Amino acid sequence: MPVGEVVQLAAGAGFDGVELRAHPEEEVHPRVGLRERSAVREQFADAGVSILAVSGYARVAAAHDERGEEELAAELTELVVLASDLGAKFVRVFPGGGDRPAEEADAEAARHLAAVAPFAAERDVRVLLETHDSHPRGADAARIVGPVGHRHIGALWDVLHPWLGGEAPVDTFAALAPYLGFVQVKDVASAEDTTPLPLGAGTVPLADCVGALTRAQWDGWLCWEYEKRWYPRAADLPGLLSAGREHLERLVASAAS
C-alpha cells in the first residue's frame, strides 16, 4: 500500500500511529535512500500520525554460517538506522529458531541482540523480539531478552501467538512486563482458523489482554496488526479501521472502570 494512502487511512480513522512493514515489496525498507526517508517522515508528521515501529524480518535465533552472521548483523544495523531516520522508537525482529534446541536458540538470539544493543542505544531505538514462531509465549521470549539485560532490547507482545501456545494473557504480561515495548492486537475465528477478523468478532481474549495491561497501569501502544497480506480472502481493512479503534477504546475504558 502506498505510504500516502497509509497516512490518509490512519489519520482519517483517528489512529495515533502506524507500524510500518519494512519489507522490500513495500515503499519503506532498509534500501530506500535518505531523501525517501525524509519524505515519509514528513508525510506522517504533517498528518499528526506517529511512526511507531519498523517491522523487520531478521530472525535472531536462526542458525547462521559465517556469512549469515555478517548478513544478520548488517540487517539489524540497517533496521535500527531506518527506524532512527523515520523517527520510530522500535524495530521488530523475529526469533526464527525453527527446530533448534531451546537452549541453543535462546543463546544465539541473546548474543545477536546484545551485539546490536549499544548501536540501538546510540540511535535511541529499542529492538523488540516478537512472540512468534519458535518462541510464541511470553515465557519463551523472556528467556532471550531477560539475559541480554539491556534497556534497548525488549519484547513485542503479539497477542495471538501466546494464546495459541496455551499461555493465559495474565501470564504473558507477567513474563514480558519488564521488557515490553508495545502490544500487537488482532482477532481470529479460532486456533484452527487464523484468518484475520475485525476486532471483537473472533475468539482471541482481547479483553483479558487489555485488562492485564490496564490493571498494571501500563501506558504503552496497542497496535492493530491485520494480516490480509497472508490471507487474501480476509475483508479489506479500510472499512474496518474506525470500528476497530472504537472497539479498542471500549476495551480500555471497560478495563479501567
Confirm whether 122 is domain-assigned. yes
Confirm whether 216 is domain-assigned. yes
Question: What's 239's DSSP letter?
Answer: G
Provide the terminal-to-terminal Cα distance of the chain, rounded to the nearest Å. 38
- All three cell numbers of 57: 524480518
Confirm whether 38 is domain-assigned. no
Confirm whether 32 is domain-assigned. no
- In which domain, by residue range, is 99 found? 54-239
pLDDT at 219: 93
pLDDT at 59: 98
pLDDT at 68: 97
Confirm whether 244 is domain-assigned. no
> Rg of the Cα trace of the chain?
18
**Backbone φ, ψ for residue 93 (5° rounding):** -130, 160
Confirm whether 82 is domain-assigned. yes
Confirm whether 245 is domain-assigned. no
15 vs 224: CA distance, rounded Å: 10
State pTM to two decimals: 0.98
Whether the Cβ atoms of residue 167 and residue 208 lie closer than 8 Å to each other: no
pLDDT tens digits, residue range 7-66?
999 999 999 999 999 999 999 999 999 999 999 999 999 999 999 999 999 999 999 999
Torsion sign, CA atoms 22, 24, 27, 31: positive
Confirm whether 8 is domain-assigned. no
pLDDT at 1: 83
Q: CATH number for the domain including 154?
A: 3.20.20.150
Which residues of the chain are modeled with pLDDT < 50?
A: none
Q: What is the DSSP string of 177-238?
A: GGGEEEEEE--BS-SS---B--TTSSSS-HHHHHHHHHHTT----EEE---GGG-TTSPPSG
- Indicate the number of domains in the chain: 1
Cell 541482540 -> residue: 113
pLDDT at 163: 98
